[in-house]
Amino acid sequence: MTSVHVRDVDEAVLRKLRQSARMHHRSLQGELRAILEDAAERMPDEPVADVVDLVTAQTGGSGTWSRDEIYDDDAR
């Protein structure tokens, strides 16, 4: 089995991970392994192509969404 080394873990994060490990009656290493396994199980087996996350932001302004307004050009 391959090993993974994680550097520069924030002390607050490490404290919470140790607390979680105690709650689950595991060692810190066992807790980290369980978290990684859970995260890996949530990933699809095949990469998902063309996934786009769209976010809508309100700017407080209004507009026509015309090309000239968006790109500030003459459609060149």
**Residue 38 counted as domain residue:** yes
Q: Quote the pLDDT of residue 46.
A: 80
pLDDT at 62 (0 to 100):
75
Q: Considering the domain boundaries, does residue 41 fall inside one?
A: yes
- Give residue 53's region: left, alpha or beta (phi > 0; psi -120 to 50): beta
Within a domain: 64: no
- The domain of 25 spans 8-46
In a domain, 13, yes or no: yes
Q: For the chain, how many structural domains are there in total?
A: 1
| E strand or H helix at 34 | helix 28-42
What percent of the chain has pLDDT above 90?
A: 50
Largest CA distance in the chain: 66
d(CA 28, CA 34) in angstroms, rounded, equals 10
- Averages of pLDDT over each 10 residues, the chain, 76 residues: 92 97 97 96 81 78 76 70
Buried b (16+ CB within 10 A) or exposed e, 39-66: eeeeeeeeeeeeeeeeeeeeeeeeeeee
Residue 14 lies in a domain: yes
